[in-house]
Structure 1
Amino acid sequence: MEMERKQFELGDIVQMKKQHPCGTNEMEIIRMGMDIRIKCTGCKHSVLIPRAKFEKNLKKVLRSAAERQQDEGQNNLTAE
């Protein structure tokens, strides 16, 4: 039985299995490659994690980058 790989991309807000020591549970993906750099949305601290460890510790994608851009676009339209 093969487990489905979670889909994530640059700019996504993700939830990891363990929360950050500052108490926040949301991280933003700011760099992707063999290693993935994530930034805490609470204290802005960034951490570089090997991709395999990131995929193992990823709980779920909270907001994708595409959704965030659409929301910001709608906010800009309503502000005018």
Structure 2
Amino acid sequence: MKYNIGDRIKTKKKHVCGFDEWEVLRVGAEIKIRCVKCNREVMVFKTELDKKVKTLVHIENQ
């Protein structure tokens, strides 16, 4: 899956805060995402994120 900065994604599992929507902040081999509810930022390898993503919710940069 291709990610762009500003994309919103939904994950299969919820974050500890109880929300499952994330915003993409940085792309590359590692992708930086931020929880929309609690603003926690996490770096995840692209291959791992591809397995965890349920849907691409919103694309701002198109």
Q: Could you say whether these structures have the same fold, taking a TM-score greater than 0.5 normalized by the shorter chain as the test?
A: yes
Give CA-to-partner distance per residue, 1:23-59, whole Å, 9 cap, x none. 1111000010000010000000011001100111111
Structure with higher RCO (Cα < 8 A, 6+ apart): 2
Q: Give the one of 29, 33, 47 matched to 2:28.
A: 33
Aligned length: 62
Flag the structure with higher strand content. 2
Give the conservation status (yes or no) of the 8 Å contact 1:28–1:41: yes
More helix by percentage: 1
Provide the aligned C-alpha RMSD in A.
Answer: 1.3
- In structure 2, runs of 5+ residues without a counterpart are none
The share of aligned pairs that are identical, in percent, is 29
Structure with greater Cα Rg: 1
TM-score normalised to structure 2 length: 0.90
After superposing on structure 2, the runs of 4+ consecutive aligned residues of structure 1 that deviate more than 6 Å are none
Using the size of structure 1 for normalisation, the TM-score is 0.71
Distance 1:47 1:36 in 2: 8
- Structure 1 gap segments, 5+ residues each: 1-5, 68-80
